[in-house]
């Protein structure tokens, strides 16, 4: 029961976040909305796992948390450098 | 070498916590994959002193954690009140606060500032952190420097 | 005892949900990008923290709780990094914050 209430609250917030992503005047607003949306996805996967009595869902939540973070950083890096590998020049690596 | 070993132990602890199985085959698979990850990390040259902060003071660290949780709860309530307030009483302010020269302390300080709702560290140049605060009061509270003082105590002086 | 943990987890999950919704409302209501960052950090800290605490109280001392706490710690460490990267990218992308620059910084550190 309590899980259903929490899931409703999170879904409502996801709707709000999504509308910010659609409205968002700048690109950064949209990235912020997507990042926040990912956080809520992790939460709702965890809560949903408890709601259906299958806490194995937590592994999926964990993987989603990882992907969310890496995805946000990758998009930002792409915006800042226009390239995913170009933050350091190649001659800085010694191997 | 010390850093590689600590990385390996940490990875294996994470493996055990996440899998929860203690059969021989799975343990061996875990050991092999942890060793593989350590090898990749070595090859990428990311195993260094940053990965394993050894000279933290444990008791100060725990004290700081609890103090930070208290601060986070307080500022959460404050920001929530302002968001729900019909007139939206915010006064965005940008302020520069001095940080310690030590890298680890800078990271802890900037992360703590960002974790506390109402203040976000937006830039870090020459040991000065540029902070965007939601309210003028938040900026002033940060300038009092209590958080900076507590962060300084967390790490042993060299 | 069961009732007590149930009531406690009800309270924590409801409070956490409240902070999550507040974060969403703040994301819509606040006027510019840099102020919206503050709204997002609310559910990222206390919202997740309280909901995870409530779930841990429900799960008891099991592997599930360990995983929940690991998820929470992971998000606690990555959240500021993502926020800081966003703010820095926005600043470099010539996005002017809606704010008054405070010049008179009285140095309070020794």
Q: Does C17 touch chain A (CB under 8 A)?
A: yes
- The secondary structure element, H or E, covering residue B128 is strand B128-133
Q: Does C21 touch chain B (CB under 8 A)?
A: no
Within 8 A of B18 by CB-CB distance, chain A residues are: 59, 62
Tokens 């968001």 belong to B83
Predicted pLDDT at B130: 85
pLDDT over 60 at C102, yes or no: no
Test A6 with C14 for CB contact under 8 angstroms.
yes
Kindly identify which residue of chain C lies nearest to residue B96, measuring between CA atoms: C105
- Cα–Cα distance for residue pair C67/C50, rounded to 1 Å: 15
Strands B119-125 and B128-133: antiparallel
Q: What is the DSSP letter of C44?
A: I
Strands B93-98 and B119-125: unpaired
Judged by CB atoms within 8 Å, which residues 102-141 of B form the interface with A?
A: none
Kindly identify which residue of chain B lies nearest to residue A95, measuring between CA atoms: B43
Within 8 A of C80 by CB-CB distance, chain B residues are: 110-111, 114-115
The CA angle B41-A70-A52, to the nearest 5 degrees, is 115
pLDDT in tens, C21-41: 998 998 888 888 888 888 888
Predicted pLDDT at C109: 36
Of the candidates B33, C61, C71, C20, the one whose C-alpha atom is nearest the C-alpha of residue A12 is C20
pLDDT in tens, B122-157: 888 877 888 888 888 888 888 887 787 887 777 766
In this structure, what are the phi and psi dihedrals at residue B122, rounded to the nearest 5 degrees? Answer: -105, -15
The CA angle C97-B87-B115, to the nearest 5 degrees, is 50
C97 versus B138: which is more confidently predicted? B138
C4 versus A89: which is more confidently predicted? C4
Q: Does B48 touch chain A (CB under 8 A)?
A: no
Express as a percent the part of chain B with pLDDT over 90: 7
Test A28 with C59 for CB contact under 8 angstroms.
no
- Is the distance from CB of C9 to CB of C57 less than 8 angstroms? yes
Q: Does C49 touch chain A (CB under 8 A)?
A: no
Test C10 with A2 for CB contact under 8 angstroms.
yes
Query: Token pair of B31, please?
Result: 């050991």
| H helix count then E strand count, chain A | 3, 0
- Cα–Cα distance for residue pair C72/C51, rounded to 1 Å: 10
pLDDT in tens, A2-44: 888 889 999 999 999 999 889 878 888 888 899 999 999 999 9
Test C86 with A76 for CB contact under 8 angstroms.
yes
Helix (H, G, I), strand (E, B) or coil at A32: helix
Residue to substitute from C36, C42, C45, C71, interface A, most A β-carbons within 10 A:
C71
**Burial class of B87 by CB neighbour count within 10 A (0 to 12, 13 to 18, 19+):** exposed
- With a threshold of 0.90, tell me whether the complex ipTM lies above it: no
- Cα–Cα distance for residue pair A48/A58, rounded to 1 Å: 9
Shortest alpha-carbon distance between residue C43 and chain A (Å): 9
Which residues fall within 8 angstroms of residue B83, CB to CB, at 6 or more apart? C22, C25, C26, C29, C30, C39, C42
Within 8 A of B73 by CB-CB distance, chain C residues are: 46
Helix (H, G, I), strand (E, B) or coil at B132: strand
Shortest alpha-carbon distance between residue A19 and chain C (Å): 8
Confidence of residue C105 (pLDDT cuts 50, 70, 90): very low
C104 versus A35: which is more confidently predicted? A35
Q: Does B104 touch chain C (CB under 8 A)?
A: no
Confidence of residue C103 (pLDDT cuts 50, 70, 90): very low
What is chain B's mean pLDDT, rounded? 83
Test A20 with C36 for CB contact under 8 angstroms.
yes
> Which of A32, A47, A73 lies closest to C36 in CB terms?
A32
What is chain C's mean pLDDT, rounded? 82
Q: How far is C-alpha A30 from the geometric centre of its chain's CA atoms?
A: 12
Region A58-84: mean pLDDT is: 83
Predicted pLDDT at A83: 64
Q: How far is C-alpha B93 from the geometric centre of its chain's CA atoms?
A: 23
Query: Token pair of A88, please?
Result: 């350091």
Where in chain A are the domains? 2-85
Predicted pLDDT at B134: 85
Test C67 with B17 for CB contact under 8 angstroms.
yes
Among positive and negative, which fits the CA dihedral C33, C37, C42, C48?
positive
Within 8 A of A59 by CB-CB distance, chain B residues are: 18
In this structure, what are the phi and psi dihedrals at residue B131, rounded to the nearest 5 degrees? Answer: -120, 135
pLDDT in tens, B38-72: 999 888 877 776 666 666 677 888 888 899 899 88
């Amino acid at each position: 029961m309590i899980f259903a209430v929490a899931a409703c609250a999170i879904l409502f917030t996801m709707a709000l976040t999504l509308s910010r992503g659609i409205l968002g005047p700048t690109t950064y607003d949209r990235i912020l909305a997507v990042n926040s949306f990912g956080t809520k996805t992790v939460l709702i996967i965890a809560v949903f796992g408890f709601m259906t009595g299958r806490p194995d869902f937590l592994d999926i939540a964990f993987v989603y948390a990882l992907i969310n973070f890496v995805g946000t950083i990758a998009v930002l890096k792409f915006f800042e450098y226009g390239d995913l590998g170009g933050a350091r020049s190649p001659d800085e690596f010694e191997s | 070498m010390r850093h590689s070993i600590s990385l390996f132990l940490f990875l294996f602890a994470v493996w055990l916590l996440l899998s929860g199985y203690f059969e021989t085959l799975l343990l061996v698979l875990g050991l092999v994959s942890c060793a593989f990850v350590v090898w990749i990390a070595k090859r990428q040259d990311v195993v260094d002193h940053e990965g394993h902060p050894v000279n933290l003071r444990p008791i100060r660290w725990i004290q700081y954690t609890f103090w930070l949780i208290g601060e986070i709860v307080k500022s959460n309530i404050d920001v929530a009140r302002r968001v729900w307030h019909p007139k939206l009483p915010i006064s965005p302010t940008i302020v520069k606060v001095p940080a310690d020269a030590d890298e680890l302390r800078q990271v802890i300080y900037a992360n703590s500032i960002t974790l506390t709702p109402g203040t976000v560290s937006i830039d870090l140049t020459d040991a000065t952190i540029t902070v965007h605060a939601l309210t003028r009061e938040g900026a002033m509270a940060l300038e009092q420097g209590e958080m900076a003082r507590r962060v300084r105590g967390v790490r042993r002086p060299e | 005892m069961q009732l007590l943990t149930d009531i406690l987890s009800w309270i924590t999950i409801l409070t956490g949900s409240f902070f999550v919704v507040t974060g969403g409302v703040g994301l819509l209501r606040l006027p510019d990008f840099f102020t919206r960052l503050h709204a997002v950090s609310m559910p990222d800290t206390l919202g997740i923290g309280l909901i995870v605490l409530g779930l841990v109280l429900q799960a008891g001392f099991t592997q599930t709780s360990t995983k929940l706490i690991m998820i929470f710690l992971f998000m606690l460490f990555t959240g500021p990094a993502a926020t800081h990267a966003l703010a820095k990218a926005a600043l470099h992308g010539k996005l002017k914050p809606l704010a008054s620059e405070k010049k008179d910084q009285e140095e309070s550190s020794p």
